[in-house]
Amino acid sequence: MEDKRNEILRLKKEKNTVIMAHYYVEDEVQEIADYVGDSYYLSEMATKAEADTIVLCGVSFMGESAKLLNPEKKVLLPDESADCPMAHMASVEKIEEVRLKYKEDVAVVCYVNSTAELKSHSDVCVTSSNALKVVKALPNPVIYFIPDKHLGSWIAAQLPEKTFIFNEGGCPIHTMLTAEHIMEAKGRYPGAEVLVHPECQAEVSRLADYVGSTSGIIDYATTSDGKEFIIGTELGVMYELKKRNPDKVFYAVKENQICADMKKITLDKVLSVLQGAGEGVVMSEDFLEKAHTPLKRMLELSR
């Protein structure tokens, strides 16, 4: 294991590479990354990367986003088959249908957990960290929120002045959690605070002490006076939670809160992609420009 890590560090330096990892990948991968964070943080760090190559340890839409924000850099994915089901849960046809009906009144707001194709037909991207701020700043009275209806509904509840149209999409890991699961967990750990992701169903969010992005959950647990927490998101986040809070205890709502695609990213695959000579994520120049615009607007509106 140590030899593997040392070889990754050697190749990273030799090839002027930066390694970025999402909180949901394996602990050992987070440990060797230069930057670890949620989708917003990784998007922001991608714009500041000075290396020639980015190794993005996450699912495919994250690699696409890194390439869109850094068209001149090589972006490598340790496993190109690692995907996000929700990223495909909207359609260009529906976007065009909504635009035709609402004209300039509507803004198509695309959660960053989506394909580059969907981004290229949207007005602005958002992450769970900045969605409220970005949508609030938009002048449009109507919001078509894709692809996640649960995050969209959570934002809509805080912005009653806007009309929302929702898309039938959602993260399988978060939407499998129910109010019953939360109540059962509260019964097992009566002194623990409940922290959940806004990709969860509304019935789950209503029972939580805190609803927020992955980084928000980590920050809340770190600054809270509480000592026990029930976590309602993908369990890869436990690595950072425990690292920052060795004196606190964290419980899963359910033990199967695991994204199989995120877990495809292993230390062996990081080493392999660094050893290889692949060209990485490739997009046409025209497509890069179209899909980059909503990401750029997101970063501008969230600052």
Q: Are residues 76 and 110 in the same domain?
A: no
Write the CATH number for 50.
3.40.50.10800
Distant-in-sequence, close-in-space partners of 228: CB < 8 Å, separation ≥ 6: 189, 191, 192, 193, 248, 249, 250, 251
Task: Provide the residue type at 275 as one letter.
Answer: Q
pLDDT of residue 44: 85
User: Mean pLDDT across the stretch 33-42?
Assistant: 92
Q: Are residues 167 and 296 in the same domain?
A: yes
Give the span between the Cα atoms of 149 and 199, in whole angstroms. Answer: 8
Q: Are residues 274 and 294 in the same domain?
A: no
pLDDT of residue 258: 98
Q: Is residue 152 part of a domain?
A: yes
pLDDT of residue 89: 98
Q: Are residues 200 and 274 in the same domain?
A: no
Angle between helix 60-69 and 285-301 (nearest 10): 90
How many CB atoms are located within 10 Å of the residue 45 CB?
Answer: 18
Q: Are residues 93 and 163 in the same domain?
A: yes
Provide DSSP, the chain: -HHHHHHHHHHHHHTTEEEEEETTS-HHHHHH-SEEE-HHHHHHHHHH--SSEEEEES-HHHHHHHHHH-TTSEEE-S-TT---GGGGSS-HHHHHHHHHHHGGGEEEEEESSS-HHHHHT-SEEE-TTTHHHHHHH---SEEEEES-HHHHHHHHHH-TTSEEEE-S---HHHHT--HHHHHHHHHHSTTPEEEE-TTS-HHHHTT-SEE--HHHHHHHHHH-S-SEEEEES-GGGHHHHHHH-TTSEEEESSTT---TTGGG--HHHHHHHHHS----S---HHHHHHHHHHHHHHHHHT-
Q: Are residues 295 and 155 in the same domain?
A: yes
Q: Is residue 148 part of a domain?
A: yes
With beta carbons less than 8 A apart as the criterion, state whether 230 and 186 touch: yes
pLDDT tens per residue, range 112-149: 999 999 999 999 999 999 999 999 999 999 999 999 99
User: Mean pLDDT across the stretch 168-178?
Assistant: 97
pLDDT of residue 109: 98
pLDDT tens per residue, range 245-289: 999 999 999 999 999 999 999 999 999 999 997 889 998 888 888
Q: Is residue 183 part of a domain?
A: yes
Between these two residues, 42 and 94, which has the higher pLDDT value? 94
Backbone angles phi, psi at 110, to 5 degrees: -110, 115
Q: Are residues 91 and 168 in the same domain?
A: yes
Q: Is residue 257 part of a domain?
A: no
Q: Is residue 210 part of a domain?
A: yes
Residue 211's closest CA among 191, 231, 185, 192? 231
pLDDT tens per residue, range 199-254: 999 999 999 999 999 999 999 999 999 999 999 999 999 999 999 999 999 999 99
Instruction: Out of 16-25, 34-43, 103-112, 209-218, pick the least confident.
Output: 34-43
Q: Taking the model in full, what pTM does it have? A: 0.94
Q: Are residues 272 and 135 in the same domain?
A: no
The range of the structural domain enclosing residue 140 comes to 86-172+290-301
pLDDT of residue 287: 83
Q: Are residues 159 and 181 in the same domain?
A: no
Q: Is residue 274 part of a domain?
A: yes
For residue 4, name the pLDDT band (cuts at 50, 70, 90). Answer: very high
**Is a pLDDT exceeding 90 seen at residue 78?**
yes
pLDDT of residue 80: 95
Q: Is residue 94 part of a domain?
A: yes
Q: Are residues 104 and 236 in the same domain?
A: no
Give the span between the Cα atoms of 131 and 143, in whole angstroms. Answer: 12
Backbone angles phi, psi at 146, to 5 degrees: -130, 160
If you average pLDDT over every residue of the chain, what do you get? 95
User: Mean pLDDT across the stretch 153-169?
Assistant: 97
Tokens of 302: 């969230």
Across-strand partners of 123? none
Between these two residues, 40 and 143, which has the higher pLDDT value? 143
Say how many domains are in the chain: 3
pLDDT of residue 94: 98
